[in-house]
Structure 1
């Protein structure tokens, strides 16, 4: 077996990417029409939900998500599959979609740990910018949790319609049943001032322990909108045990994708304690807790970045921007005094 042919969950990468197969439901007129509407009417931020689902679908040897392909749609599945095939052909050191796979698995593992902790038992879970997220259907650790998915009304409507079509067409509905204690979708724009009020009307309890998930959303917001959301969540630490799971881009990363990304933080492990979180743990893609056996080439981009000081904006070896993605877990509680319990930081 070559160095490139990594075995994950019993499948080599070459085997995993060999053939692109679509579920029958994607060929139905109703679902094809829905995805055609997404292509015509959704903006870059909304369509990113389908791109993320495509990553989960095509990295299925690492992530078990039977609903991902039908939520992603044919366009995004084909686009990512073509990139993956090209990477395999060129013996690339990192394969397209690996960031999405590692990010998904990191959020899954951190969420499970948070819910299994003493403070996390029966906690609420709120996904801001939920998109095509399927954690409520995938993760049994949510069995005692009330889950809230917050996103644009059109995104949630499309998601609900596709999932209902999947349920109607399937003989085995097991993977289409929510594993959470309850699942509530809340139509709201977190850039507006009323999203928290809408969340409370839907049943969110401000005094109840809560895990907040912000996956792949902060960097699409403006600096002011992102900080407004983060401050709202930090203020919850004074009310109840609060856990934040989020990913942050550094400044060089915002130069990607034609400046679609706006908010950045080079030092989120300093930013979050400054607004009210007591404990912060930061990881980079490729760290021991953000690896999952998917980044085995020691010379891949992520391992090279981890060997450089975080203060560097450009790589001294080749002058390329040091584009980093930080995976951050932060928490706080009313009984914790920030002056006595400083941030716990891992770099």
Structure 2
């Protein structure tokens, strides 16, 4: 079990050994560890954010060990960055009302952030973790705003793109995509993710969040010396312009100290440069209509 101490000196231990599918679940442990970091941050005198629901995933016990403060700082800076970026985008002029969150299953953003009316929030995450989290959140009275809708798509789905479509996601209207905590374990999985986002996100849409640089497989050992180069190459191959955001920069903007430590993850902001599949289909149909109309006009002139 992972353990932490909160800002009020009360000790809690993370209940990371729940059973999912009859066996201890690594994905569940990771999700609960992340929730424990949000709980700890929430209970600081001046927190970066407040997650009133993170505690419902934890269990109180008597003893604990110290949390890794470096990982805590980096994770909480990333959480704050993603929160603010989401709110800035959806509350902007003509902000998107389709929000796709790639999460560990215990993401509380649908409940704790102030979403605009008529927002459709899609949570793509491990089904077992999400279901446990849903039960815990229901138990503490967490609710989505009545004017919004939360829809879950199991990460294990054999066709996540079709599952999102079946839930109502449209590639012909604006959307925003964010990732934090989703267990993308290697470059092949990230490549699949970029293919799907590139297929469903309209031109100009934003995809951003936090990714583990441990994704890089053998042959990418030099990523630390030129991370931007590798990220540029990968994202551009799928039609995205991408920028890496430094944790130190976020810390300075928030008047926090540098998180330091090993760069085990990166923050990125990418913009879709291509048309989505739905946009391409609409363009194809319009082009076909114009051609057919031109053929009819030519026939009448003869």
Compute the TM-score of the two structures, normalised by the length of structure 1. Answer: 0.63
| Equivalence for 1:294 | 256
Please give the per-residue CA displacement for 1:161-205, whole angstroms capped at 9, x wherever unaligned. 1111112xxxxxxxx222474233324225x54112122212222
| Equivalence for 2:134 | 160
Distance in structure 1 (CA, Å) of the matches to 2:253 and 2:52 = 23
| Equivalence for 1:56 | 38
Q: How do 1:227-238 residues align onto structure 2 when only pairs under 5 Å count?
A: 227-237=191-201
Compute the TM-score of the two structures, normalised by the length of structure 2. Answer: 0.72
Distance 1:212 1:335, change over 3 A: closer
| Aligned with 1:177 (options 102, 121, 143) | 143
Q: How do 1:1-347 residues align onto structure 2 when only pairs under 5 Å count?
A: 17-20=7-10, 36-37=18-19, 41-60=23-42, 61-74=47-60, 82-84=65-67, 95=70, 97-119=72-94, 121-167=95-141, 176-179=142-145, 181-189=147-155, 192-217=157-182, 220-237=184-201, 239-251=202-214, 266=227, 267-277=230-240, 279-288=241-250, 292-295=254-257, 301-302=260-261, 323-332=263-272
Distance 1:178 1:205, change over 3 A: same
**2:101 touches 2:123 (CA, 8 Å); kept in 1?**
yes
Structure 1 gap ranges (5+): 1-14, 27-31, 88-93, 168-175, 256-263, 303-321, 337-347
Distance in structure 1 (CA, Å) of the matches to 2:146 and 2:11 = 29
Structure 2 gap ranges (5+): 219-223, 277-302
Distance in structure 1 (CA, Å) of the matches to 2:273 and 2:91 = 17
**2:19 touches 2:25 (CA, 8 Å); kept in 1?**
no
Measure how far apart 1:38 and its partner are. Answer: 5.5
**1:137 touches 1:177 (CA, 8 Å); kept in 2?**
yes
Larger radius of gyration: 2
How many residues align? The count is 261
Distance in structure 2 (CA, Å) of the matches to 1:123 and 1:142 = 8
**1:147 touches 1:180 (CA, 8 Å); kept in 2?**
no
RMSD, aligned CA: 3.7
